[in-house]
Amino acid sequence: MAERTDVVFVDGVRTPFGRAGEKGMYWQTRADDLIVKAMIGLLERNPQLPKERVDDVAIAATTQQGDQGLTLGRTSAILAGLPKTVPGYAIDRMCAGAMTSVTTVAGAIAFGAYDVAIAGGVEHMGRHPMGFNADPNPRFLAERLVSEDALNMGRTAERIHDRFPHLTKERSDRFAMHSQHKAAAAYEAGKIQPDLVSVAVRSEQGWGLATKDEALRPETSMDALAALKTPFRPHGRVTAGNSSGLNDGATAALIASADAASELGLPAKMRLVSFAFAGVEPEIMGIGPVPSTEKALKKAGLTIDDIGLFDLNEAFAVQVLALLDHFGIDDEDPRVNSYGGAIAYGHPLASSGVRLMLQLARQFEEHPEVRYGLTAMCIGLGQGGSVIWENPHYDGKKGK
């Protein structure tokens, strides 16, 4: 059997993330236009890539309907100006849609079927709320396959607090506050803006330009977080402040074989080492990244101590804390989400996986002493996804 082909993350971009709903900046913007804008930005940043060399386009969305339906990979490829010879398809793994787009095309590249592919995701939660018009099979509840809580992400986060009482609301709030402050610092230092694609937006005031994430709250304090309501349970611990919001946005990444990247003069910002997905009880879906990370580490022949940088999706602060606690990592470990996370930037479900990768790739450039990094996220209905990456800038003389 032939050896697998090395897969690299060449480049990625995203739109600024907006607040979902009528007051959000993308309320009058189509979902497919968001992903097309991201794809055009990605292609413009890599002009040395002949468009006909793109072998496939995988675009994820959680609620695939209306302007977020119709086989997004194919329709967005056509709208983005790719040749009609380039095929495409749509993916749904809820929150890990874009992550699964990347791992799916990566598998095809590793097998030798593709050389270059575009992978990403879009979620317009204002136009298409999660689960809108979905019809869960009555057997789920009638046969007690899952509890009613499993279908409400906020309640699943409350259940993590129940299971691990030492993961207190105060710890969640503090983690959330730090996320906001780190995101503000990353913006101030110009770490985020290079990977953002501006989007023309229309409102009652006329046309404008979206250039920055809309939901950032750099002024967040512990006192303010302590005063927030707990909408999922009376006297609960999960609030709007220690959770990601409802958001709109899109991401797109260029994935290639190492040989094709070299041939075409494309950069290799990260090398894919391993990936894994795992299932857990849907009622506590937030712990999903624990078994998926264990599987990915085992596949790679690594341990958690080999990971020098972590970019973890902050669907809920307690969900990230559960992973850190499991692996014995401090809440404020500087290796974790050093640019902040979804609590600050937002979490437009199926697009978020590539945002994690963008931020990890930037951090790799700053940290040649780090060899391996992890992107991981929890996934609705009881799943976790983890991808381990290698830093091409690694200098063995500077670190492990």
Name the residue among 110, 42, 63, 55 with its Cα closest to residue 358.
42
Rounded to 5°, the CA angle 154-250-74 comes to: 120
The span from the CA of 130 to the CA of 93, in Å, is 12
The span from the CA of 42 to the CA of 50, in Å, is 13
**Token pair in block for residue 288:** 């999903």
Catalytic residue numbers?
95, 347, 378
Contacts for 375 with CB less than 8 Å, ≥ 6 apart = 99, 311, 312, 353, 356, 357, 360, 386, 387, 389
**Token pair in block for residue 191:** 């770490």
Contacts for 234 with CB less than 8 Å, ≥ 6 apart = none
**Token pair in block for residue 247:** 């958001």
Amino acid identity, position 46: N
Proportion of the chain in helix, strand, coil states, percent, rounded to 5: 40, 20, 40
The string of DSSP codes covering 119-176 is EEEEEETTTS-TTTT----THHHHTTSS-GGGG-HHHHHHHHHHH-TTS-HHHHHHHH
Contact 144, 45 (CB under 8 A): no
